[in-house]
Structure 1
Amino acid sequence: INVSSGIDWFDLDVGYISGTGSWEKAEMDLSLFEKGLIKTGDSYTIISKKDIDKLMLLEAEKKLKDGKIRVSKYNFGIINELYKNIENRKDKELKNIRDISLRLKDFSRIEEVSPPENFTGVLRHYQQAGYNWLWFLNRFRLNGCLADDMGLGKTVQALALLQKLKEKKGRKFKTSLIVVPVSAISNWEIEIKKFTPALKYVVHIGQTRKKCIKHLTRYDIVIVSYHTLRNDIEVFNERDYGYIILDESQNIKNYKSLTFRAIKTLKSDFRLSLTGTPIENNTLELWSLMEFLNSGLLGTSGEFKRKFVRAIEQLKDKDAALKLRKKVFPFMLRRKKEDVLKELPAKSEIVLYSDMEKKQRELYENYRRYYRAKVMGKIKKSGIENSAFEIFTALLRLRQTALFPSLADKKHKNIPSCKFEQVKGLMSESLQEGHKVLLFSQFVESLKILRHHADKMGYKYSYLDGSVPAAKRKEQIKKFQERDDIPLFFLSLRAGGTAINLTAADYVILFDPWWNPAVEAQAVDRAHRIGQTRKVIAYKMIVKNSVEEKILELQEKKKELVKNIISAESGFYKSLTKDDIDKLFT
């Protein structure tokens, strides 16, 4: 094999060396490999099974028009397997990549790096290990994903790295760009002031923001929301950065989105993503993440779909899943809380079931029969692919009816809600016992009803949904965290389920659970994280014999496809069978 290198890839020329020592170009023909043969020119040669296995590794890679095979520089598996067969293996770039791959194979060999001089805290043992890994990636010019469980301090580890780089002598420190959800901005500000006050930062958000790159690059760190970055992408494209760090990087999971496309145009020396859920909904999200970090590692999106998506999600191919994990393993560090944070208090999760009374049950059954007939008729006529809107509407109405019948139609406002009666008792008992409570709901209208009840009872509370401005968010979080007289925090799951610390709470109520367990876990971990001193109890509220139970059953099936790959509602409907749809309405 002869190798030539490009920016992010190697082009491989495969050939056969005859007994006389002459090199002839070989054809990549799978049908011949299966027979133990290789074709060079007009000749056929029998080759060993060992050589065939090596050629089969290349068979799935991208073929160029000139017959060469393109392999990502980050595809260490192939490079390691074929290295001894490469004629020009003394090539400088190839040797560098080979050296990196060998050192990445054993994480325990990564050197211990002293904390930055101006770091004003103490890294926990696993944070020090993560910091060492980030430094290792930097040293060998690699990009990676720190995928620790929520609450383990990914922000602190990233800041320690930036502070260390700033202190490195003989190296100019470039401005780094940190892209975050709006709800995470205040947390980054707090962490910078607490741990790395020597890093100068600016928050680029709001109507008064200065759209001037010269102004922004005066700072060590620029913090910007995903939304604002997308709107101001022309400004940010005027310079390149030291690091681009994506916090809650599942925000770029859709590679067709404007946000993903905008971020891909940015230029930087290094890229780092931080997320507790590297795969939230489906396998293709992993391609988006890796395409941002190490472009070309998993091929094009089309190639990735052909090689992995169908095999893993539909055929349940464990070999394909293992192959994919091996490809991304060097670029991802993930630690579980239960493995590294032994001192963290315990967490209990309790499912609370409630039964609909007669009027609510009759209304629910009427909706169920109506929508079942409507949806199944649409599927019969147009197929599942073209029935997504009807399915979504039906599920929404059934979920609303199970929560508050008035959400489905205001004319049902006098029909009582079994779940409302249950949560009123749960809130009252929890607050009387001195607990601080987070209550999450997907529906702002549900939160409105619950807030009205809190006002009526005289409960003081904080509140957060997507409409709350950034400054007000910070105020609401601070109020709940610091004041004993604010025992309750109402949050929408989307706005308050990630990137904020709410360790003052020890009770979490998921009033209407999200069907993706990873999103639920993120919400619970607002309380169950570093800084928590009490046992955390999470209540998941479910209405019996309703669509809530049915979807939870389907999600249990999805868990079996691939570990940590769960289908969320946004991509839920296309993957269902007709039988699955029918079961939703039984």
Structure 2
Amino acid sequence: MANKQDQLDPRLANSRRRARRGRVGARQKFPILSFMRIPNRIFSANGFDFWANKVLLDWESRFPEDVLLRGRKLYKSGVIRSVELKKGFATLITQPREERYFILEWDNEIQIRSSHSTDDLQAFAVAGLYEIEALLAEYTMGFPQRDAHITSEGLPQVTHRRPASTTKLALQLSLIGEGLRLDFASKENVALDHREHLVRLSHLSRKAGFFKCGNGFLLSSPYRIWVFVKQHLPKWKMLFDLTVPESVEKLLRDPEVIRIQLDKVGSGLSVQATFLKKPIDSALQKHLLKAKDEWVLLPGHGIVRLAKEDQQVWQQLEGLDHVPLYLSINTPLERSEELEAWQRSLLDLDGTLLEKEHPLLRPYQIKGVRWIKHLLNHQCGALLADEMGLGKTAQILGVLSEMSLTKPVLLLAPATVVSVWETEAAHFYPTLNLRKWDPTMPLDSGIYVTSYSQARRSAKKLQAVDFQCVILDEAQCIKNPKSKIAQVCCLLKTDGRIALTGTPIENALSDIWSLFHFLMPGLFHQNVKALHEHANRVAFQQKIAPFVLRRTKKEVLRELPEKVEIAVPCFLSEKQQHLYSQWIESGKAVFGNTFEKAKDNRIHFFALLTRLRQIACDPGLVYPDRPIQQSAKWVMLEKLLCEGFQNGHKVLIFSQFLQFLLRLKPAIQKAFPKVDCFELNGKTLHRKVIVDAFQNHRGPCAFLISLKTGGTGITLNTADSVILLDSWWNPFVEQQAIDRAHRIGQKKKVFVYRLIATQTIEDNVYKLQHAKSLLSDAVIGNLSDASLLENHFPAVLQCLRPLQNVL
């Protein structure tokens, strides 16, 4: 039975029959070159002329790039074993083991048909055209050849040999801004007998990388231009009458290297590109900055080389209005002697002396003052990341006392901490001119403290001021670089920048990236996501090391009593367990048995997590009619308080759920009527009065504190017991709460009790906290490898999945 495709096109059938009889006609044969395979060739005079005219056109532009790539792969694999050229069409036959037949036609469009309907026809068309182009080029180059016998359609057998042109094709090369241009010396020079030279030119120019451009050819890649001049140009001179200008001949030399040097100019950097030790003018610098390759065609200079890494750093610096000196650190660019001296000075802390006595500061705090002053003197930002309770506030006040103020200083802090700065300034440095700022006050050469919320509301006014220094207390408030307050802080104009936080990394490396985006803009050019890559994290840690000061209590406060942390398991009551199981089952119904649908509805998923955590604390937080006695945590808290009060302890009780604290207060007062119970939350009006009352209280007492309200900015070092009622995703928030008691001035050992509801989400939240603590220790503690970079949502999701086999 005839092949279906043969019925559609009888030429396919004819080719198949001729192949089977073994009488395809006399084949034009050429020697097989060492680097390529040459198929059998058949062509007539009319066929040769027809396809010679076609391949001179820019036929590659008719195919998409992906098709060209597949076609080149087929061509290089040698899949085509026979080519027959006729006027109007060509026949292609593939290898015997997968023998297929193709008819390639070219009228106005290129069309191809196949004996197999599943073939990648466009790719085979490309492979066939490359094969045809090679055939025509090799024939015109004068390889040894037999006569071609034309036997098709019953014509009489004749012998045919192409006459060779006796004159060479005249061409000229020229260097232009876009690359190396190849043109015909004159239009009249191109006669009919030059057709074989045109085919040769088409083949060789494509092989060298030229592409059709107007009436000539263009080679745009500087590297390929250099390769062409070094490797191909001698052969072209023999084949063509080639005019080569001196500017092209000079390209035979190896390319010179462009060098980029940084120099110190005042408080900033200047960037200068040099060629042969001479500066390059601004116009050529712009040309180099736009280059897309390491090899660059520089007008008037030929081909030069500019290292890609150098160019990237140069581009980043060139886009800045002012290039700060710290951007010269850890760059591959050359540095001037003056800049090298500046960098050596940056690492020499002994070169900075304090101008005043600081009798109330401890030795490690004085060292912190010197360190910050040293960095500010070198136009660098400073991140003071001492563990909570080591007196970061006092150290900043020491730095401010050393300043000769010529412009205003702005200090931003959470609203609950603003008054602390006023109190601490009056204690440590009574003569320091520190005032609470409101928008009605002018900003002269003084020190002003205000809240982040006020700064956000007064952003335009603050951003119009030129500050001497901007200081961020509890700087983790700007950990989200997309937040409004982070953007406000980064746009403030200032000579110096300082950030204070005991928790520079709360969730991921992006937290500290955001801090340095404020402290030293431009120091890190990669985006936040790039820090997930190991190599980028290592480089990141090395870069921040000179600008981060982190001390722990164990290192500097050897006299501070130890802190003992105890995890206290709380077993849910039967009714509490039943409610918890019901909410788990309802979650499965919505999000699937393994909560695989949680990503599609994160808002409802996190609402479910909150409900589970509330039930684990106290069912009454979800069902208000449930008595507090159904809470396993109240049962355990009552036992701990009973023992603590009997031993005269002052106890801090923290929870993130305000309603839980409100339910606990009457229960504690009823169980311990003779013990005072203090309370601090977001609704407390006289915060300092309550704190002072607790601090001065003699004998056992309890202090119920909202984690969000009282976790920062207050000192409660007369307490010696801390109870954390519920686990928080962020372990550093809990640590801040603990350090309200475990800080300078503490005389007793501090006991910390974490109440954890067993067989609930809290078990896994506790594990998540441990992982985040490891991340912070790795990056900030000793600047070693940070192998634990948790993505927040998947980590939280994992907290819930293991519970499937528990309930």
Please confirm whether the aligned pair reaches a TM-score higher than 0.5, indicating the same fold: yes
What residue number does 1:115 align with?
Answer: 356
What residue number does 2:622 align with?
A: 408
**Structure 1 position 380, deviation (Å):** 4.8
Residue 241 of structure 1 aligns to a residue whose secondary structure is strand
Please name the residue that 1:134 is paired with: 372
The answer as to whether partners of 1:462 and 1:486 remain within 8 angstroms in 2 is: no
1:125 to 345, 359, 363: 363
Write the letter of the residue equivalent to 2:441.
Answer: I
Which of 66, 82, 102 is 2:333 aligned to? 82
Q: 1:584 to 1:122 in 2, by over 3 A?
A: same
Q: Contact conserved, 1:8 with 1:296, CA < 8 A, in 2?
A: no
For 1:252, the aligned partner's letter is I
Q: Deviations over 1:226-285 (max 9, x none)?
A: 112212334434532222111111111112212122223322221111111111122212
Q: Pick from 755, 768, 793 the counterpart of residue 574 of structure 1.
A: 793
1:231 to 450, 453, 457: 457
The one of 694, 711, 728 equivalent to 1:480 is 694
2:346 counterpart of 1:104: yes
Cα deviations across residues 299-321 of structure 1 (Å, max 9, x unaligned)? 2xxx322431x32xxxxx2x332
Counterpart pick for 1:352 among 547, 562, 568: 568
Higher CA-based Rg:
2
Determine the structure 1 residue equivalent to 2:475.
249
CA positional deviation for 1:574: 3.0
Write out aligned runs for 1:507-586 (5 A). 507-559=721-773, 563=777, 573-576=792-795, 581-583=800-802, 585-586=804-805
**Offset at 1:141?**
2.5
C-alpha deviations, 1:96-130, integer Å up to 9, x for none?
Answer: 5x4343233355x34342434xx5x4321111111
Shift of 1:414: 7.0
Gap change, CA 1:61 and 1:440, over 3 Å in 2: farther
After TM superposition, give the deviation of residue 16 of structure 1 in Å. Answer: 6.8
Note the residue ranges of structure 2 that are not aligned, 5 or more in a row.
1-258, 781-785
Deviations 1:22-72 (A, max 9, x none): 99989799999xxxxx52439889x9xxxx9xx57547647469999x987
Alignment of 1:64-463 (within 5 A): 73-79=325-331, 81-83=332-334, 86=335, 89=336, 95-96=338-339, 98-107=340-349, 109-116=350-357, 121-166=359-404, 172-204=405-437, 211-214=439-442, 217=444, 220-299=446-525, 303-308=526-531, 310-311=532-533, 317=534, 319-376=535-592, 380=596, 384=599, 386-413=600-627, 416-456=630-670, 457-458=672-673, 459-463=675-679
Partner of 2:295: 39
Q: Distance in 2 between matches of 1:227 and 1:66?
A: 35
State the Cα RMSD in Å.
Answer: 3.7
Q: Distance in 2 between matches of 1:233 and 1:29?
A: 37
2:420 and 2:714 in contact (8 A); partners too: yes
Is the contact made by 1:291 and 1:297 (CA closer than 8 Å) also made in structure 2?
yes
Query: How has the CA–CA distance of structure 1 residues 545 and 233 changed in structure 2, closer, same or farther, with 3 Å as cutoff?
Result: same
For 2:490 and 2:609, the matched residues in 1 are separated by 35
Residue pair 1:461, 1:480 contacting (<8 A) in 2 also: no
Give the letter aligned to residue 506 of structure 2.
E
Identical residues among aligned pairs (%) = 31
Describe the SS at the equivalent of 1:254.
Answer: coil
> How far did 1:541 drift?
0.8
Q: Distance in 1 between matches of 2:629 and 2:563?
A: 35
* Superposed displacement of residue 376, structure 1: 2.9
Q: Deviations over 1:155-179 (max 9, x none)?
A: 111111111224xxxxx44332211
Distance in structure 2 (CA, Å) of the matches to 1:64 and 1:414 = 61
Output the CA distance in 2 between the equivalents of 1:577 and 1:452: 34
Decide whether the 8 Å contact of 2:268 with 2:323 is kept in 1: yes
Deviation string, structure 1 residues 357-387 (Cα, Å, up to 9, x no partner): 2221122112122213322379655x62x32
The answer to which structure, 1 or 2, has the higher relative contact order (CA under 8 A, 6+ apart) is: 1
Gaps of 5+ in 1: 33-37, 167-171, 312-316
Question: After alignment, is 356-365 or 123-132 more displaced?
Answer: 356-365
Indicate how the Cα distance of structure 1 residues 374 and 478 shifts in structure 2: closer, same or farther if over 3 A, else same.
same
Query: Which residue in 2 is equivalent to 1:169?
Result: none
Q: Secondary structure at the match of 2:649?
A: coil
CA contact (8 A) 1:479 1:486 kept: no
The one-letter code matched in structure 2 to 1:227 is S
Mapped partners of 2:537, 2:316: distance in 1: 26
Q: Which moved more, 1:555-564 or 1:502-511?
A: 555-564
Q: Relative to 1, partners in 2 of residues 1:288 and 1:350: Cα closer, same or farther, differing over 3 Å? A: same
Inter-partner Cα distance in structure 2 for 1:249 and 1:396: 27
Kindly indicate whether the alpha-carbon contact (under 8 Å) linking 1:372 and 1:582 is maintained by their aligned counterparts in 2.
no
2:260 aligns to what?
2
TM superposition shift of 1:583: 2.5
Shift of 1:146: 1.0
Residue 467 of structure 1 is matched in structure 2 by 683
Report SS of the residue matched to 1:78: coil
CA contact (8 A) 1:444 1:492 kept: yes
What TM-score, normalized by structure 2, do the two folds share? 0.60
SS of 2:630's equivalent?
coil
Residues 476 and 503, structure 2, Cα contact 8 Å, conserved in 1: yes
Q: Which moved more, 1:361-370 or 1:543-552?
A: 361-370
Amino acid at match of 1:151: G
- With over 3 angstroms needed to count, the CA separation of the structure-2 counterparts of 1:306 and 1:255, relative to structure 1, is closer
Q: Does the 8 Å contact 1:180/1:248 carry over to 2?
A: yes
Report the CA distance between 1:134 and its aligned residue: 1.6
Distance (whole Å) between structure 1 residues aligned to residue 610 and residue 373 of structure 2: 47
Q: Could you tell me how far apart the structure 2 residues matched to 1:144 and 1:66 are?
A: 25
Q: Distance in 1 between matches of 2:460 and 2:317?
A: 35
- The answer on whether the counterparts of 2:726 and 2:756 sit within 8 Å (CA) in structure 1 is yes
Alpha carbons 1:61, 1:71 under 8 Å: kept: no
| Counterpart-to-counterpart distance in 1, 2:415 and 2:758 | 36
Shift of 1:150: 0.7
- Local SS of the residue matching 2:333: helix
Equivalent position amino acid for 2:347 in 1: K
Aligned residues, how many?
530
Query: What CA distance in whole angstroms lies between the structure 1 residues aligned with 2:426 and 2:308?
Result: 53
Q: Distance in 2 between matches of 1:261 and 1:324?
A: 22
Amino acid at match of 2:416: S
- CA positional deviation for 1:212: 2.2
Which residue identity lines up with residue 104 of structure 1 in the other structure? L
